[in-house]
């Protein structure tokens, strides 16, 4: 079971990132905390940066610096990212149906 959990969480982090950014823009530390709270697993910040960088290159998220108490880079989901997230939800539903 641990192998399945690892494959569907740490090795597949992007849908969790898109799901949380669909609620609102977040910076990396906030995103990591939100995923841990909602989905019950944590990960290295380096993994989050790697995933966010790839999502940016693919046009699924954009980043914006905000200078509040200290500068932070906030990530926003794009319409293309929302579409991929919706497709992923449909895929998961169809996969669940096949296992019934």
- The pLDDT value recorded for residue 91 is 95
pLDDT digits (tens, 9 = 90+) for 15-55: 999 999 999 999 999 999 999 999 999 999 999 999 999 99
Confidence of residue 6 (pLDDT cuts 50, 70, 90): confident
Domain boundaries along the sequence of the chain? 2-98
Q: Exposure string (b/e) for 87-97, b if CB count within 10 Å is 16 or more?
A: eeeeeeeeeee
- How many residues appear in the chain? 100
pLDDT digits (tens, 9 = 90+) for 47-77: 999 999 999 999 999 999 999 888 999 999 9
- Classified as helix, coil or strand, 68 is coil
CATH for 2-98? 1.10.10.10
């Amino acid at each position: 079971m641990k192998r399945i959990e690892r494959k569907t969480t740490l090795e597949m982090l992007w849908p969790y990132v898109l799901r949380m950014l669909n609620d609102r823009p977040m910076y990396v530390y906030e995103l990591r905390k939100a995923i841990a709270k909602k989905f019950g697993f944590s990960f290295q910040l380096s993994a989050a940066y790697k995933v966010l960088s790839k999502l940016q290159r693919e046009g699924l998220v954009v980043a914006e610096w905000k200078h509040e108490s200290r500068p932070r880079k906030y990530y926003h989901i794009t319409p293309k990212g929302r579409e991929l997230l919706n497709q992923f939800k449909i895929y998961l539903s169809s996969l669940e149906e096949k296992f019934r």
